[in-house]
Amino acid sequence: MIGRMMRHLQPEEPLPHLLAGAAEDDAVVDCALYVRGARQPGRPTFHDAYAAARRRRNGFVWLGLFQPTWAQFAAVAEELGLDDLTTEKALAPERRPTVERRGDVTMLIVRTARYVEHAELTATSEVVDTGAVTLLIGAHFVVSVRHGGAGALADVRQRLEQRPAMLGNGPWAVAYAVCDRMVDVYHEVAADVEQDVEQLEQTAFLRVGGCDVQQIYQLKRELVEFKRAVLPLQAPLRRMNDPAVVELPPQLRQYFADMHGRLTQVVEQVASDNELLDSILQARLAQVGLDQNNDMRKIASWAAIAALQTAIAGIYGMNFERIPGLQWQYGFYLILLIMAVGSVILYRLFRRSGWL
């Protein structure tokens, strides 16, 4: 659909704000020209910055977008010569982490994550919020398209601008900085989620105030969502070190290799937390079953005690004239005594056996 809409854009039709004036577009977070690792003064339009970057050997432009619409992204796609499929993937809010080479443009998709603070874990608590960042990387440009509330890149840009030597590696330095920030956030989120798991483990078997199965299941669902953001990134990072897939500057290969190792640590921690949650869930289900079994035994015990009273009352409530003790003046009190003594005996027997 996006492709058909782009083909219907008439040449004489004014281009969206991304080309007319980046500062006027609410989807543009920042747009800057970098030459030899230094940011150039001003905030030019993407059209002007890209044109200037192409005239310089060591120049590139970084355009940051936040949830752009088709109309806001169409001009960028036309300026960079992006095909319809690349455009559709860049605008899709939910994508699996991947790295693809599409002509002269490399597309890198990374899932973002953030830990959602909560006073207590409930059956509906949101623990992990995820989004996505799509990076379109070329010889003289990098376009970052972010979807979702997690993964803001303003700090990434500021820190990278303080490292001109790293920034001098060109657009792939931005790709490294973004991925490195995402992996750091993964570590932070994993640590916070681990605390939730440990707290849940401590309260799982409390007789009073313990957690419910719904709470365990909700945390497990949130952990699975986080796992879907972290685990699939391993394959793209491995492919980044393959020269046949990505023309990565040699200076950055060791950085991406180190990042892959740190990501593996997060994956292992998430897998460990997931296994622990499975154990807690199974143990809690077994405990719930045991508690239900104990309740059923108590109900059966009281039912047996009540059955004795019902049986005696039922016999003497029958419409017969000749029943032992029926005509005796103390018969009523004797039957009450038998019922009381029988109840006490049954109660003590059930109590001794652990049913009450």
Q: Which domains does the chain have, with CATH numbers?
A: 296-353 (1.20.58)
Tokens, residue 142: 């990098």
The whole-number average pLDDT for the span 292-316 is 78
Q: What pLDDT digit, counting tens, does each position of 190-210 carry?
A: 999 999 888 888 877 666 556
Residue 6 in tokens = 């782009």
The mean predicted confidence, pLDDT, of the chain is 82
Predicted local distance difference test score (pLDDT) of residue 21: 45
- Using a pLDDT cut of 90, give the percent of the chain over it: 34
State residue 294's pLDDT score: 73
Which pLDDT belongs to residue 1? Answer: 36
Which pLDDT band holds residue 14 (cuts at 50, 70, 90)?
Answer: very low
Better-predicted residue by pLDDT, 199 or 63: 63
- pLDDT single digits (tens) 243-267: 777 778 888 888 888 999 999 999 9
Residue 191: the pLDDT is 93
Average pLDDT value for residue range 132-147: 93
Q: Which of 131-140, 150-159, 166-175, 298-307 has the lowest mean pLDDT?
A: 298-307
Confidence of residue 15 (pLDDT cuts 50, 70, 90): very low
